Amino acid sequence: MQDPGTADIDISYCVVNNDGRDYLLDCLAAIERFHPEGLSRQVLVLDNASNDGSVEAVREGFPQTEVIALESKQGKAANDTLLLETARGRYCLLLNEDSELRAGAVQALVDALDADPEAGAAGAQLFDGDGAPYACAWKFPGVGTALIGALFLHSRLTVQSGGDVTRRVDWAQSSALMVRREAAEAVGYLDPQFFVYYDECDFCRRLADAGWATLYVPSAEAVHHNQLSTDLSSGLPRIVEFHRNRDLYMRKHSNRAAALAVRILTAWAYGLRTVASVFIPGAPTGVYKAHARQALFPYRGESLADRAKRN
């Protein structure tokens, strides 16, 4: 484990890849184009046991990139932790392979962290593949936010990624999240219990508990193509994983009663969506129904983590 005081590089780009070769190459090309002048860098790619030739493509197209090639798949939190432990930068920019930085994003994140020494992380404004901005910072989950969701006021009262000024938020998505390595090491990096989903939420919560803030930086922009979506076309295990990890977060940071309340309120909201969707042509009734069931019974069915262990 590296002493944060010995950082010899300004920025370590930390990219996790899951069978996303073409996205990954675009991600690395964007890093090449938009890395700020005058700052030293390290580019790390952790390949999560891909079988699409990603490792070979990176080594051929970006020979200066350091590649960590895993032989078996592990979870996102474990992967990000391995990257952070390997990184030598004072700031580490966590990226998914399907995240593509826009011009000025990295400098804006660096400037935000430089300006706020108490900030341990800073998240970019994310855009989907069509170029539309979407919510990427929120209040911490709890009974209150679950109630807000049950009243269908989530976008108004829980989402914190809004406006055009850098602000402190509870947590931000890790698709383009710059982390102060000193802060990450202080809290023990990310918790590998979270295979995927709620890993960065738990991380930001532990940063907050240790006195580190998380920032939302709207002037830092990145496209997140979101090749892994939370729907039935990606398989029920992804929905199982989502709700299982939310319950894990609630039990870790609250208590069983609060976790149960969140499960009931979330199932209620998805149940109402399921009923309403029956009368809406083309609505994803099956997706809503699956979410309602898994919200109430998160430990039924096979999750992504279960599938990875089985394979």
- pLDDT digits 0-9 by tens, 12-56: 999 999 999 999 999 999 999 999 999 999 999 999 999 999 999
Clarify whether residues 140 and 283 are in a common domain. no
Which of 224, 255, 277 represents a domain boundary (last residue)? 224
Which of 176, 207, 224 represents a domain boundary (last residue)? 224
Clarify whether residues 17 and 34 are in a common domain. yes
How does pLDDT run across 90-122, given as a tens digit for each residue? Answer: 999 999 999 999 999 999 999 999 999 999 999
Distance of CA 30 to the CA centre of its chain: 19
**Residue percentage of the chain with pLDDT more than 90:** 90
pLDDT of residue 8: 86
Clarify whether residues 87 and 38 are in a common domain. yes
Burial 124-157 (b: 16+ CB within 10 A, else e): bbbbeeeeeeeebbbbbbbbebbbbbbeeebeee
- Phi-psi group of 104: left, alpha or beta (phi > 0 → left; psi -120 to 50 → alpha; rest → beta): left
Burial 210-230 (b: 16+ CB within 10 A, else e): eebbbbbbbbbbbbbbeebee
State the average pLDDT over residues 119-132.
96
Q: Residue 138 pLDDT > 50, yes or no?
A: yes
**Residue percentage of the chain with pLDDT more than 70:** 95
Clarify whether residues 17 and 90 are in a common domain. yes
User: How many distinct structural domains can be found in the chain?
Assistant: 2
Clarify whether residues 183 and 285 are in a common domain. no
Owning domain of residue 240:
232-310
pLDDT of residue 16: 97
Q: Residue 1 pLDDT > 50, yes or no?
A: no
Question: For position 55, which CATH number holds?
Answer: 3.90.550.10
How does pLDDT run across 247-273, given as a tens digit for each residue? Answer: 999 999 999 999 999 999 999 999 999
Type of residue numbered 183: A
pLDDT of residue 6: 56
Instruction: Using CB atoms within 10 Å of the CB of residue 266, give its burial: 0 to 12 exposed, 13 to 18 middle, 19+ buried.
Output: buried
The residue with tokens 């952790």 is 46
Clarify whether residues 100 and 213 are in a common domain. yes
What is the 8-class DSSP label of residue 159?
B
pLDDT, averaged across the chain:
94
Q: Which residues lie closer than 8 Å to 135 by C-beta, 6 or more apart?
A: 155, 159, 161
Clarify whether residues 143 and 241 are in a common domain. no
Q: Residue 311 pLDDT > 90, yes or no?
A: no
pLDDT of residue 234: 56
The kind and range of the H/E element at 69 are: strand 66-69
Clarify whether residues 98 and 196 are in a common domain. yes
Q: Residue 244 pLDDT > 70, yes or no?
A: yes
Clarify whether residues 251 and 140 are in a common domain. no
Which of 203, 224, 245 represents a domain boundary (last residue)? 224
Q: Residue 230 pLDDT > 50, yes or no?
A: no
CA distances 146 to 109, 138, 208, 247, 273, Å, are 30, 12, 20, 12, 15
Clarify whether residues 255 and 170 are in a common domain. no
Clarify whether residues 26 and 175 are in a common domain. yes
Are the C-beta atoms of 186 and 140 separated by less than 8 Å? Answer: no
β-strands 99-101, 213-224 pairing:
antiparallel
pLDDT of residue 288: 93
Clarify whether residues 236 and 219 are in a common domain. no
State the average pLDDT over residues 142-169.
96
